[in-house]
């Protein structure tokens, strides 16, 4: 009997505690994650409000501006949730991709979208309009300052922002990634980061290639927080910090901070080339404390020492006429025609006669052109981050193309020696040898004939 009563009492107490816990859990407000939409120009953008549990208090708001790529709001959700944990109300949105691609984008249009997001967030009941600002990552470091000049943003935070133009940043990044893969050949490094990048820029393959962020930065009169990772390998962080500080010299409040062990996007990394699955410790806390601290007044300007970087971002001079896109296109077409003429005319005439060295010169010449174009395609498609096996400090594809170029010239020499004794068409051989002559300056310019 006594045991039965004890059991009943225990069950009653357990049930009471379980009910209390359930009621408490149900009463605890959940963190905010609301789907929203807002107008920008003649279109509607979609996003989310990510913030602390609503409690009637108006908190600082922050609009997150994406980095590069065809990305949605999910790309920056991790940062939004980290900032929400610091008491900020974050707005994230899907990038407008109607005019955004590898070769086409408009920073001005993207800035208008970010400014529209700020205007919308300022109307939200959970956000304090007087403490609502912008955050921009990487490419957003070009876009967000421009948006700040077109909005009522109260502050600006940039992460991994560039002070140099997009094409110079890309040139620098190419060199870092090639060296990381074991490429030490200076002709290869120069071809990719200088010659190839300049011609690709003229061909329109680097959208907004020459965009200069300095004019927008010089107009800012709001508190600015710039944050860089010391292991940034995607853009030159040291130059960026210096350029930002110089451009913001007339701004009454700017703060430049460096996380020495952080990646370009302020996530954890071991080398700067890999990405771990967490934000750098202390980074969200810095953003949160800095934004909250603005309520007491803009802090005096301070700067960490600029992070060290592996070499300067090369100043890319305009192309001379003889290396312009059109001259290169004509030279490329001429090489193809001159090297292909020998076998094609034989095929049309259904003849099998011909010099063996000439056949080799034709084949290796065409393969040289194909190899260079193939290597450039690999660089562009992988953003320079995967050029395949590296042998003797050179990508294997590049090394094979170099050997083909040498083979084409050697075969052309044997062809020239045998020209007088040959019964083959003189015009065909002359075109073939003309291709070999053109291959010399073309190969020297692209570094194929350099050691």
Distance from first CA to last CA of the chain, Å, rounded? 98
CA-based nearest residue to 301, from 344, 246, 349: 246
How do the domains of the chain map onto residue ranges?
Answer: 32-165+211-303, 321-446
CA angle 247, 252, 258 (to 5 degrees): 60
pLDDT at 2 over 50: no
Q: What is the greatest pairwise CA distance in the chain?
A: 123
Q: Given the DSSP bridges, would you call strands 156-159 and 224-229 parallel, antiparallel or unpaired?
A: parallel
> Is the CB of residue 355 less than 8 Å from the CB of residue 433?
no
Q: Taking the complete model, does pTM exceed 0.95, yes or no? A: no
Segment 243-267 shows an average pLDDT of 96
Task: State the CATH architecture for 32-165+211-303.
Answer: 3-Layer(aba) Sandwich (3.40)
Cα–Cα distance for residue pair 170/142, rounded to 1 Å: 14
> Is the CB of residue 318 less than 8 Å from the CB of residue 324?
no
**Binning pLDDT at 50, 70 and 90, where does residue 24 land?**
very low
CA-based nearest residue to 83, from 199, 180, 227: 227
Whole-number pLDDT of residue 9: 40
Q: Which of 12-16, 108-112, 228-232, 406-410 has the lowest mean pLDDT?
A: 12-16
Whole-number pLDDT of residue 418: 78
Q: Which residue has the higher pLDDT, 102 or 326?
A: 326
Cα→Cα distances 242→227, 238, 293, 303, 313, Å: 12, 6, 25, 10, 13
Whole-number pLDDT of residue 374: 96
**Mean pLDDT across the chain:** 90
Whole-number pLDDT of residue 424: 56
Whole-number pLDDT of residue 353: 52
Q: Which residue has the higher pLDDT, 446 or 12?
A: 446
Q: Which H, E and C letters describe 415-444, residue by residue?
A: HHHCCCCCCCCHHHHHHHHHHHHHHHHHHH
pLDDT at 67 over 50: yes
Helix ranges restricted to H, 154-308: 166-180, 186-190, 197-202, 214-219, 237-247, 283-293
Q: Which residue has the higher pLDDT, 206 or 289?
A: 289
């Amino acid at each position: 009997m006594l045991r039965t009563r004890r059991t009943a009492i225990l069950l009653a107490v357990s049930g009471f505690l379980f009910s209390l816990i359930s009621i408490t859990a149900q009463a605890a407000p959940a963190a905010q994650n609301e789907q929203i939409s807002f107008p920008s120009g003649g279109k509607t953008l979609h996003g989310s409000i990510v913030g602390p549990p609503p409690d009637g208090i108006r908190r600082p708001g922050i609009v997150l501006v994406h980095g590069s790529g065809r990305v949605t709001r999910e790309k920056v959700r991790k940062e939004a949730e980290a900032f929400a944990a610091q008491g900020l109300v974050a707005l994230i949105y899907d990038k407008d991709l109607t005019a955004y691609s590898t070769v086409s984008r408009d920073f001005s249009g993207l800035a208008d979208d970010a400014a529209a997001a700020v205007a919308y967030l300022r109307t939200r009941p959970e956000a304090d309009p007087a403490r609502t600002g912008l955050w921009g990552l990487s490419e957003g470091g070009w876009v967000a300052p421009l948006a700040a000049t077109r909005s009522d943003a109260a502050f600006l935070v940039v992460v991994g922002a560039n002070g140099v133009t997009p094409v110079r940043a890309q040139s620098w990044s190419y060199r870092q990634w090639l060296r990381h893969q074991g490429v030490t050949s200076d002709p290869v490094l120069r071809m990719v980061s200088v010659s190839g990048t300049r011609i690709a820029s003229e061909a329109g393959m680097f959208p907004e290639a020459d965009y200069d962020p300095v004019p927008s930065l010089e107009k800012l009169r709001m508190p600015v927080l710039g944050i860089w990772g010391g292991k940034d390998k995607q853009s030159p962080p040291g130059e960026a910090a210096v350029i930002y500080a110089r451009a913001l010299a007339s701004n009454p409040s700017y703060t430049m901070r460096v996380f020495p062990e952080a990646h370009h996007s302020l996530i954890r990394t071991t080398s700067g080339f890999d990405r771990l699955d967490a934000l750098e410790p202390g980074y969200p806390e810095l953003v949160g404390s800095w934004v909250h601290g603005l309520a007491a007044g803009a802090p005096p300007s301070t700067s960490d020492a600029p992070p060290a970087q592996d070499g300067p971002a090369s100043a890319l001079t305009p192309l001379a006429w003889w290396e312009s896109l059109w001259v290169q296109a004509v030279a490329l077409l001429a090489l193809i025609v001159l090297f292909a003429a020998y076998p094609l005319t034989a095929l049309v005439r259904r003849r099998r006669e011909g010099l063996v060295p000439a056949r080799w010169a034709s084949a290796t010449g065409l393969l040289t052109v194909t190899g260079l174009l193939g290597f450039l395609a690999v660089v562009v498609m992988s953003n320079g981050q995967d050029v395949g096996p590296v042998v003797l400090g050179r990508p294997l594809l590049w090394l094979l193309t170099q050997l083909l170029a040498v083979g084409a010239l050697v075969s052309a020499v044997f062809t020239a020696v045998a020209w007088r004794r040959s019964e083959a068409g003189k015009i065909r051989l002359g075109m073939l040898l003309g291709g070999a002559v053109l291959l010399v300056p073309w190969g020297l310019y692209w570094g194929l004939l350099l050691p």
